[in-house]
Amino acid sequence: MTVNLLDLDPEKLAGFFLEIGEKPFRARQLMRWMHHFGEDDFSNMSDIAKSLREKLKDRAVIQTPRLVRELDALDGTRKWLLAVGEGNAIETVFIPEANRGTLCISSQVGCALECSFCSTGRQGFNRNLSVAEIIGQLWWANRALGREPGGERIISNVVMMGMGEPLLNFENVVTALNLMLDDSAYGLSRRRVTVSTSGVIPAIDRLGERCPVALAVSLHAPNDGLRDVLVPINKKYPLAELMAACRRYIEHAPRDFVTFEYVMLDGVNDTLSHARELVRLVRDVPSKFNLIPFNPFPGSGYRRSSEASIAAFKTILVEAGIVVTTRRTRGDDIDAACGQLAGQVLDKTRRNGVCA
């Protein structure tokens, strides 16, 4: 059976080499070729014995998702549509900024959570991505962006904020996270890798124990009644329990705060009273807010809040001592909002996901 080596963490890769009669130290050697140098051809791995390279050709592959389409926005944002088999596609987005380069990675084909304002949620859910399909997005982006081996890192930050709920694909996501952090692979800092969740509380606790990276929570509402509509998983894991989980996570996290993401929907969740409710909700949770102007898509039923409404909302939070940023809209001309391009190209998903 042929093994895709991108699916293996360092321990499993060492086990693979033992199985084929090779020394386990070869795992680190191969990891550097695969991840650090972005090599997928065994014949180019010059410091690995030719006999081993031949053995690898017979028993293994380094297989990433296949590029379907690449789009470049006027603001420098780049978006890749990647095929993952059986007619399914996922999206990966690179956002360049003055002091960082952020890659937004998907964790599932579609999403089971059905958040009412989310393009991906409208498409339904098909399946979880494998480790190779998750880490393969970072592998692909590094190659596409043209980083030279040993050269300056173009991707400095990774956010698990693409298609899907990362914590409903827990084991594969954690394995991929560990590869992102490993010095023989991508060597990213825990502070620069972020997992975004809609609030799967048991998995938040497990993440804190297994692989504490920066945590972002898709909040979007200040009370249970409204959040039940916008983020239906709230019916299972309500806000009081979610805030308690956030406080527990901070004990393990590389940052001393949780980022709350809050999409600004005109007339729905953007009033001054909503802002005051938020202040009361998070008063015991060290936090930072990221206000996100809604990125419309056909049939969404929502409108983007006005700049004046967003500014007034932000003022209430800032006056309460909360750190707030307003996300600049990026890549509007290439549908860079999560799920938009995949939804246009193909929608073979089906709603069969179950929250753990």
> Catalytic residue numbers?
91, 338
Please give the Cα distance from 336 to 318 (Å, whole number): 28
Q: What is the dihedral of CA 288, 293, 297, 299, to 10 degrees?
A: 90
In the block, residue with structure tokens 């997992």: 195
Joined together, the tokens standing for residue 209 give 């124990």
Could you list the beta-strand ranges (E) of 192-319: 193-197, 214-218, 258-264, 287-293
Exposed e or buried b per residue across 140-163, where buried means at least 16 C-beta atoms within 10 angstroms of its C-beta: bbbebeebeeeeeebbebbbbbbb
Q: Is the dihedral of CA 53, 55, 58, 64 positive or negative?
A: negative
The phi and psi torsions of 354 (rounded to 5 degrees) equal -130, 130
* DSSP-assigned letter for residue 208: H
